[in-house]
Each structure stands twice: as C-alpha cells, then as structure tokens.
Structure 1
C-alpha cells in the first residue's frame, strides 16, 4: 500500500512539472502586429557562457506560467534582459519565476520579440499584462495586483510599459485588450537604456508622472548602465511616485539570482520585503 501511495505522489509531482512546463500562452492568437516573419519557436544561440540559455529570433511571443504552491493573489510578468538582441531566458526568466513562486507570486515569463524589435517588445509586454489580467480568475490572482519585473533591457522594457501603458501600441485583438496595461508595481534590477536623454538624463520616451506605478530599483556603481537606475529614481521622486532605490558599490551586470556575487546575494531579500504588501 505504501509503495502504491509513493508511486501516486511521484506521478502527481511529475504531472505537475509537465503541466507547468507546458503551461504556455501564445499572446497573439493571429497575426503578430508589425511582424513579417512567420511564427516559429525561438532559437537558442550557440553561446551558453556561464550556463545562460540565450534565445533569439522570437516571432511568436509567449508567456510561460509558473504557479506557486500557495498563491498570494498577486502576479508578476517577468521581462528577461539581453540588450534587445537575445533573452537570457533561464538566468533572468525561469530562475526568477521559481524564486517568485516561493514568495507566493504567480509568475509569467515573457518571451518578447528580439532581436532589434523594441516597438514589437513594447506591444508584447502591453498585450501580456492585459492577458494576465483577463485570466485572473483562472490563475487565482487579483487583476489589480499584476506587476512587472525586468533585468537590463528587460528593465528598460518594464520602465517603458510603466510609463507608456496608456498609449495603445497595437490595434485591439479581443476582449483581453479591454483591460488596462498598467502594472500595479514595477521592479527594475540593473536596468539599462533609461538615461538616453541629453547629458545622460532620463530617456525622453519615458513619461514619468504621478500615475506611474510604484517602483523598486537596484543597481551597482560598477555597472556600465548604473546611471539608468539613478535617473529613473530621481524622476519618480520628482513626480512624488513611491520609489525605493538600492545602489551597491560592486556587482557589475547580468548576475540574476546566482550566488557568489555581492549584488545577487543582496537584492532578492530587499525586493521580497518591498513586494510583500502586494501579496496580502
């Protein structure tokens, strides 16, 4: 009897893992706006340096769903980085989703269009947030507690949707597009490309105002892109938007959650504390 019970448990766990691996949402049911190439799975590059899986040639944007054992009613759309060239899909996607699951958040890893499709990426994240909200009941989440988290170029994309959510970037597809694309909160970890204004000021595209969602920013002084977090924090402060900025001396760029880097060892606990109210 005990053997049978153990077998049932093992099979159940295996089915859960399989179901999670296959829980993928194709965010555009028909034609992808502005895309001329046919839909196909993203291509992994031959570069696997530091154990990072790098995807490129994304023509069929997707959300992969990671469900927590104990949902807290909130969700996060994750935007991996990669310079708008590739997506560091495991380092800044799957590994982050599993961490968020431990905090109770339902996580959605976004494969947005790359390479060199920044407008397409904005369309993808805007549609992704609307889709998640439209399926809130199915995923046991509150549509008013759907946030965004991004790294590097994904941090840029998260900042863009946080400031451009009210401007429709594509024609309405279906009822999901009746939802607001505004994130409830934004987490930007070593964001890039936010300081393209004159004299390295805020990128003009980013229209920060009092309605911009609360934001958590983390970066380091030795990161080439570190100024991005500083200028964004200043703009949010000036607009009286709740903002929390952490700026360490060392850590560089592209570390994700992996141990052994002082920044990677620091930001998760700070972000978890900041995120906690959204899971209540």
Structure 2
C-alpha cells in the first residue's frame, strides 16, 4: 500500500533499478570514537544491528536518473532509526522522481559529535564518488525526519565546523548540502519546544551551555545555509511545530530561500502515511519544490 501511495503521489510510473541496494561503510578505516558505541538498536522497523554507520544506495531506473541525489536521515530520537517508514519509503519515492537515494544509518546512543561526523562524512563520500553514482556533485541534498531532521539541519549549518572533521583526506571535500528538506524536524535544544529525549541522547543529562547553543541549529543559520523546505503538522505534540517555525524565521533573517508547509492533521512520525487529508500530499509539495529549483531537470 505504501509503495502504491508513493507512486500515486509522485504520479510517475517508472520501474526501480534492478540491482539490489548497495551498502557502503562510512568509516572503512575505523569508526572514530568507536569505544563510545551504543548497544544494539531497538527492534520493529529500526536498525537491528549494533551501530556500524553505513549508506544504503537506492538507484532509479537508469533511463530515468536525473543526476540529483538525496541522503536520507531517518528519525528515532537519537536512540533508534526508523529505517523503513522514514528511510526506505522515502528512497523509493525519490527513485520514482529519478533521484538517487542514500539511506544513512548514523550512530545513535552515541554522544555529539558522533552523528554530525557521520552525516558530514556521508556528504563528503557521496560527493567524492559522484562519477561512480552518475550524479552531479552540485545536486546533493539531505532529507531528514524528526531527530533525523535535526541531523540534516546540523549538516546544513555546521558543514564546515571543526567538530565535523577527523583529519582524513576526505575532509578536503565540501560537506555542504545543496538543499535541505526537513520533515517535522527537531530543531532547538532549548526552551519549551525542545524535544527532551533527543537532547538527552545527543548531549547527555547535563549539557553545557555551549553545546546547547551549538546544537540549537536555528542559532547556527547563516547566509551559507542551503535552500530549505520544511514540513510540519499542527497536531504534532512530540516535536512542536514551533521547531520548524524557528528554523524558517532564522532562514528568512539570513536571506536563505525557504518554503514551509504547515498542515493541520497528523501526529508525530507520519512518514508517508495515507488518509490524513491534505497532509498526506506533502510528498507532492516536495516534488514541486525540487522541480522548481531545477533539481529534477
């Protein structure tokens, strides 16, 4: 049903590439700070193995590929990864648009800056291998949901931060995404709209003021932050809609092109769920936005 919904929403009838998805390790030379590893991820549709950061590559049909790529950051409160409904489902829909998708399994239950290192390494790796994946190095974006939205927004604001480097040769490659798409994202780490669970998992029980400010990504927006699309719902009680509003306001102040869709219906974590009225059509808005920016040419 979800697969059918994705096809209908994007109004494209293009077959998947036939090859099985490729899984690429992020840190073949060894995971930095590996001794800080968390335990195995929880069950259900989340990652089922102990952390080993990877990218799973989903390619569109070869005659439909348009050179755009998107790295997908599933949510999970920095304690797990909703790989299916905020990862694989998105990849399939993006493939139907001709976009090459990379589902990121980043470290969870590991303190900052481990997730930031993972997402920036993913950006550098994909960009450095653009030729192999038949994508354009200037058309690589990130989509993230919930805590994955926070990680995506972190990549869009802290892409040049020293904490995102390990000293590897790959650090010379730009980690700046060319665009961001944030779906009911965690944004702030301070005040009444902060998601306490994500903050605790990422920064610990007693975070410093410096870390709270750094990872409140609405405070890190500059004119170099990439164009951004935001999606949120009024009924989201877990991550209040004010998170997206704060980021949109910061983008507007910095002169960054931004578009935001705020819907009435839908609790947190809807993914691509149907039967939510106009909310269920948010992927259509994504397609329109990408097309308007020239990323589907």
Query: Same fold by TM (over 0.5)?
Result: yes
Structure 1 residue aligned with 2:255, among 240, 247, 256?
240
**Aligned with 2:213: secondary structure?**
coil
Structure 1, 240-249 or 53-62: larger mean CA deviation: 53-62
Report Cα offsets for 1:119-175 as digits up to 9, x if no partner: 21110000000000000001111101100000000000001110000113231323x
Q: 1:78 aligns with which of 52, 72, 79?
A: 72
Label 1:117 to 1:56 Cα distance change in 2 as closer, same or farther (>3 A). Answer: farther
Which has the larger Rg? 1
What are the superposed Cα offsets for residues 82-141 of structure 1, whole Å, 9 maximum, x if unpaired?
000000001111110010001111000000001243421110000000000000001111
Structure 1 residues 114-123 or 149-158, which shifts more?
114-123
- Is contact 1:112–1:125 with CA below 8 Å preserved after alignment? yes
Kept in 2: contact 1:147–1:186 (CA 8 A): yes
- Helix, strand or coil: the match of 1:137? helix
Partner of 1:89: 83
Say which SS state the counterpart of residue 24 (structure 1) adopts.
strand
CA distance in 2, matches of 1:198, 1:66: 38
Q: In the superposition, relative to structure 1, how do residues 56 and 34 fare at CA in structure 2: closer, same or farther (>3 Å)?
A: farther
Determine if the alignment matches structure 1 residue 170 to structure 2 residue 165.
yes
Counterpart of 1:20 in structure 2 is 20
CA distance in 2, matches of 1:234, 1:88: 28
Q: How many residue pairs align between the two structures?
A: 255
For residue 239 of structure 1, report the CA deviation from its aligned partner.
0.7
1:111 to 2:105 alignment = yes
SS at match of 1:218: strand
Q: Find the aligned partners of 1:118 and 1:250 in 2 and give their Cα distance.
A: 33
TM-score between the two structures when normalised by the length of structure 1: 0.84
TM-score normalized with structure 2 length: 0.80
Choose which of 42, 45, 50 in structure 2 pairs with 1:45. 42
**CA shift for structure 1 position 204:** 2.7
Residue equivalent to 2:233: 220
| Cα pair 2:41 2:51 within 8 Å, conserved | no
Cα distance, 1:37 vs structure 2? 6.2
Residue 261 of structure 1 and its aligned partner are, at CA, apart by 2.6
CA RMSD of superposed structures (Å): 2.3
TM-aligned CA distance change 1:177 to 1:279, over 3 Å: farther
Q: Deviations over 1:43-73 (max 9, x none)?
A: 5634x3xxxx112664310000000111111
Structure 2 runs not aligned, ≥5 long: 1-14, 195-211
**Contact conserved, 1:152 with 1:191, CA < 8 A, in 2?**
yes
Contact 1:257 1:264 (8 Å CA) reproduced: no
- Output the CA distance in 1 between the equivalents of 2:184 and 2:254: 22
- Displacement of 1:258 in angstroms is 2.3
